[in-house]
Amino acid sequence: MSNRQLLEQQLLNWRHELHRHPELSGQEFQTTDKLKQWLSEYGIETATWGLKTGLIADIGTGYPIVAIRADIDALPIHEEIEQDFRSTQDGVMHACGHDLHSSTILGAAILLKAQASELKGTVRVIFQPAEETYSGAYEVLKSGALEDVSAIFGFHNVPELALGTFATRSGAFYANVDRFKIVIKGKGGHAGRPHETKDPIVVAAQLISAVQTIASRSINNLDTCVVSITQVHAGTSWNVLPEEAHLEGTVRTHSPEVRLAVEEKLKQIAQGIALAHSVDIAVDWDNGPAALINTATWAELSQTVARAQGYEVQEAPLYLIGEDFGAYLEHIPGAFVSIGSASSFGLHHPQYQPNESLIYPAAQYFAALATQALESIHKNAEV
């Protein structure tokens, strides 16, 4: 077997091992140990930077530093696929492809190590924990591991894209993902004597209707804005009006300005309806991951390198799902890209089964991207 074939098979074996033994967010202890061991076999030293799980490796020396990132956590999903490397952890599955991502970036690290003396700086390789809980990127930022990084790159496999297909875009890509909880406190009583109560269910109905006007009447129609109430809970009996009603939902936007405007409008509507019905309404707003906004220069370079590597390059659509890589791009220029994994079932599905043939070409891609990013920064510094 050629060196390429040997490495390609090794990456597949590693992917299978990670898939057999998935670990949930913040619990990736065995995964971290395995990654450390595998990298050490190729002479790549790692450090934790104080992280509980996950690890970081530097390849090359000096400045500038560019980073490439993989996420390593799995999901609380029971796998429904019969295959040789099926998950051995009941109720836990790599249903988002982070095992593919880790194997890909392992491959990129090994390819970069082989040319470390020729790199015009350092490639910092990040194996990030807890992406699924949107906390891992913030942990890495807090560690200080990215303070000297000039650019950062990452990717996600996309089941809807064919194998060999690549997509990204400049500017906004993934969404702000925010969650809200609303508690309406009224006055309960007999359903046959509603005039003696302050019915939180009627109030909830009006609030639900009013909230739908935020996107249609308060936000510019050219801006992305989705407001969805996804849970409504109230009452315990058919003939009793309850004391409280509880609602939950999510907001998806692509700019910080719209994000803030929706939060303010939601609270304003709640306050107004509470006043009109003499009830108390509490709104708890939880900012999730920030919108992922690609730097135009680096998004364009990522496309150029993809074409050179033989990918069919497409313009990616806007996504309304979240990705905590956006936290990095709030502080560091960079780009996030999509690589086709051609699965019949989508992300987070118990029958998600990506085409793992994407791994080695994607490893080559990220090694080339990191190399060319260093060269680009080096060249611009000389001008």
Q: List, as residue ranges, the binding site.
A: 96, 98, 132, 156, 348
| Binding-site residues from annotation for Mn(2+) | 96, 98, 132, 156, 348
Closest alpha carbon to 128 in 187, 57, 189, 214: 57
Q: How far is Cα 316 from Cα 320, in angstroms, rounded to an integer?
A: 12
Radius of gyration for the alpha carbons in the chain, expressed in angstroms and rounded: 24
The C-alpha atoms of residue 100 and residue 157 are separated, in whole angstroms, by 8
Candidates 334, 34, 371; CA nearest to 155 is 334
Give residue for tokens 């390059």.
Answer: 313
Does residue 183 sit in helix, strand or coil? strand
Name the 3-class secondary structure at 314.
strand
Distance CA 231, CA 249 (A): 7
Strands 312-315 and 240-241: unpaired
Beta bridge partners of 234: 245
35: left (phi over 0), alpha (psi -120 to 50) or beta: alpha
Question: What whole-number distance in Å separates Cα of residue 138 and Cα of residue 121?
Answer: 25
Of 16, 25, 104, 23, the residue nearest 353 (C-alpha): 16
150 contacts 64 by C-beta, under 8 angstroms: yes
